Structure 1
Amino acid sequence: MTTQPFWHGFSERTPAGAHGHPLPFALVGGAETLIGHGERAALDKGPLETLSERVARFFEDQAEGPDVLVGAVPFSRDESAHLVQPRQVMRIQGRFDPHDVLELSSVRDRTPQTSGQCRIAGEPDADGYAHSVDAGLEAIASSAGALRKIVLSRSLVVRAEHPFDLRMLFARLAGDESITTFAAPLPARDGAPRTLIGATPELLVEKRGLRVLSHPLAGSAPRRTDKGADEASAKALMASGKDHREHALVVEAILDTLAPFCRDLATPEGTCLRATASLWHLGTRIEGRLKDAAISSADLVAALHPTPAVCGEPRAEAAAAIDRLEGYDRDFYAGAVGWCNAAGDGRWSVSIRCAEICGRTARLYAGAGIVPGSDPASETNETSVKFKAMLAALGIAEPGRGPERREGQGEAAR
């Protein structure tokens, strides 16, 4: 692992988020670690379709400061991304220990700060989500082929006695080296700072010069502690026609979207199993060579997002169904987190397996792809599995199915 040529302004680093306070922007993955402290300037607001021109104009106008914008893109294409130019930036090739790059050395040695008693409410609860899946299947069946897939999510709202320890949360999530851990400060709500924090296994798009990469995931199965059962779960996923159909919709859509930008485009490894600590996924690595290096990562994000992995197919029809069936605003969940620079390069991960943290409240999200053959009970269980890693990182004992309206304890009670 080697340090890239710039550690811009990092001689005056400020401490990372203390207990209950925001972390800096952080993206820690296998290929790269990027930390951005503070906010020197912010990108103008606007819908996703104007993102590329606004980014280009920003770098034309900003003669000073780090040559990078960092932040988050919301799920809705009509809402504005929250991208800022940090005051201080550190970029390192390779994955670094978050205790070091975020100045979390005290986390190793101190007693974890508990959030105390926690109350968890589902929005919707497990039964309500299963009913939404039923409604989604009916919408697909009645569309005469106009709607092929819907990704439906549900949310858990965790309210604690004390503010959540964001440093501890980030460090715990980063323990799974198969994923990219991220923290993205969001616009304040009612004067209170918010942070989107999570551990995503999915790369939306990376652009470096002429090279472009995407690694979509769709179709999943739970990991098992018993080795034989774990292998059986993986084999069952690889043999699942329903999951392969769901995955193919995502890959085809991304290939079709990237093709006009690319001279070459391929899936050299085909569809493979991808493992995280809690789930098996079907994944396909997509590699391409752009026709023109002037095509920016912001151009590609605007073209790709949201993919069928988080929205459905076709995009407009699926997004309309999500608005009808979910009953809450996804905000920055199922959007993208990442960075872009003046040269047009950038790396953007899909913001899933995440939570929005605001003081003593954490809103967790999990979703599942609904296609013909989906089973409401199985999809509900899939979302429960996807909640597990974040609940564990928050120091909350794993609840059974339907953790809603439950009194729980933080780390000290486990």
Structure 2
Amino acid sequence: MSARLREHPAPALLSPGAATALLEAYRPGTDRFLSSPRHTLLGRGTAAEIPHGTDPLAHRVRDVLDGLRRPDAPAPLVMGSIPFAPAAPPALAVPDMVHWAPALREDPLVALPVAAGPHRPDWRVREVPSPERYGQAVAAAVARMRAGEFDKVVLARTLELTSAREPDLPTMLRRLAQRDPSGYSFALPSGPGRTLVGASPELLVSRRGGVLTANPLAGSAPRSADLAEDVRRAAALLESAKDLHEHAVVATAVREALAPFCTRLEVPERPTLVRTAALWHLSTTVTGELSDPAVTALDLACALHPTPAVCGTPTETARAVIAESEPFDRGPYTGMVGWQDADGDGEWVVTIRCAEAEGRTLRLFAGAGVVAESTPEAETAETAAKFRTFLHAVGADL
């Protein structure tokens, strides 16, 4: 096993199976696992934590990482999650050791079947809010938008799953990663006694040297097991006026947030399609060249967060509607998860398709973008489709 692990920074490709070895090595507690289409990381132990405070988060991260720099040693990096609420404390730490491997999607071993755990949890499920209450919140938001109060809001709901046993998080993570190995899989502490685990399809922003990449997703449709129907749904999504409008709002917001940092910024005029195991998404890949090399990946991520894809527009009005409409605290959901090194490179992913585990309880999150053309039935169905990825991983059938 040790021969397959590699300390930061990431080098050339390692032996086949290295990414799966890191995935299988993950253990809840102080381990932090992240995979992306570029590479796989496993952080172990905690050398330092990023403190909560009033200074900008990117500055606090920079100060901690600069303080840990050592001559002739790899640049230290921070890993973790940042919550949706701006005043909430982050769950960011510098691991004692970071091991790297190639991307999971390049690993032939990731497709091997995941062994079933010794016990299948007998989940008790509580919907918060109920589908009926969620539909009422969507209808109320639509009425306010049609009256001209705001343009868009993302409303979420949760499933609270409770079992007699604590969930098997390593098996859950492996199933999530296997289901979408080209996405962004993660499992890491999100607070005292809590673990955030998920598989997001959406890159918020990455920085590699002087180049940035963002990949906003907005507008989605459920997949179908029937090939012809699946193709029809994908084609319909590309022509949906409602979804194209929703996506354009997000792409415009991303362009406006990133433009001040760039000498060049490329934003395609029309979105393309990306697929996960459960959904089709409208996608735009934004690329740019930074004008200031001191700007870090987290500087860019904080400038973007929250995008209209997870909050709405105008941002502050949408936040207020979310607070009025959602009977729960989002916590890390629709925040961001990722890593950044002391040189400023890193990747930050939008925290969706996720759950937070605490003891014997697992809370799943799913949201839908609500615009003036939305209907309660369609948005409730969209959140149900988004739950399926995680329900597959935990073995719960609703």
**TM-score of the two chains, using structure 1 as the length reference:** 0.86
The amino acid across from 2:36 in the alignment is G
The 5-angstrom pairing of residues 282-321 of structure 1 reads 282-321=282-321
Deviations 1:5-58 (A, max 9, x none): 6479xxxx9x9455xx447211112212111111111011135x7012111211
The 5-angstrom pairing of residues 2-401 of structure 1 reads 6=9, 16=25, 21-22=28-29, 24-46=31-53, 50-63=56-69, 67-95=76-104, 108=114, 110-142=115-147, 144=148, 146-175=149-178, 176-188=180-192, 193-268=193-268, 270-397=270-397, 399=398
Distance in 1 between residues matched to 2:347 and 2:269, nearest whole Å: 21
The amino acid across from 1:391 in the alignment is L
Unaligned runs of 5+ in 1: 400-414
Unaligned runs of 5+ in 2: 12-21
How far apart are residue 139 of structure 1 and its match?
A: 2.4
Aligned residue in 1 for 2:18: none
How far apart are residue 138 of structure 1 and its match?
A: 2.0
Deviations 1:304-354 (A, max 9, x none): 101101000111111111001112110100000000111111100000000
Q: Do 2:26 and 2:33's aligned partners in 1 also have CA atoms closer than 8 Å? A: no
Query: Aligned-pair RMSD on alpha carbons?
Result: 2.6
Moved over 3 A (4+): 1-8, 15-18, 63-66, 96-101
Q: Do 2:30 and 2:45's aligned partners in 1 also have CA atoms closer than 8 Å? A: no
- Residue-pair matches, total: 381
**Change in CA separation of 1:4 and 1:111 when aligned onto 2, cut-off 3 Å:** closer
Distance in 1 between residues matched to 2:242 and 2:185, nearest whole Å: 29
**Change in CA separation of 1:114 and 1:23 when aligned onto 2, cut-off 3 Å:** farther
**Change in CA separation of 1:215 and 1:230 when aligned onto 2, cut-off 3 Å:** same
How far apart are residue 113 of structure 1 and its match?
A: 3.0
SS in 2 for 1:44: coil
**Change in CA separation of 1:2 and 1:215 when aligned onto 2, cut-off 3 Å:** farther
SS in 2 for 1:161: coil
Q: Do 1:28 and 1:181's aligned partners in 2 also have CA atoms closer than 8 Å? A: yes
Distance in 1 between residues matched to 2:248 and 2:337, nearest whole Å: 24
Distance in 2 between residues matched to 1:256 and 1:35, nearest whole Å: 34
Deviations 1:60-94 (A, max 9, x none): 32245861000001001121211101011012343
How far apart are residue 135 of structure 1 and its match?
A: 1.3
How far apart are residue 117 of structure 1 and its match?
A: 1.7
Aligned residue in 1 for 2:19: none
SS in 2 for 1:259: helix
SS in 1 for 2:372: coil
The amino acid across from 1:179 in the alignment is G
How far apart are residue 96 of structure 1 and its match?
A: 6.3
Distance in 2 between residues matched to 1:367 and 1:78, nearest whole Å: 21
**Change in CA separation of 1:349 and 1:5 when aligned onto 2, cut-off 3 Å:** closer
Distance in 2 between residues matched to 1:282 and 1:166, nearest whole Å: 30
The amino acid across from 1:148 in the alignment is D
Distance in 2 between residues matched to 1:61 and 1:3, nearest whole Å: 23
The amino acid across from 2:118 in the alignment is Q
Distance in 1 between residues matched to 2:391 and 2:335, nearest whole Å: 21
Distance in 2 between residues matched to 1:36 and 1:147, nearest whole Å: 42
Distance in 2 between residues matched to 1:336 and 1:313, nearest whole Å: 19
Aligned residue in 2 for 1:403: none
Distance in 2 between residues matched to 1:268 and 1:393, nearest whole Å: 34
SS in 2 for 1:75: coil
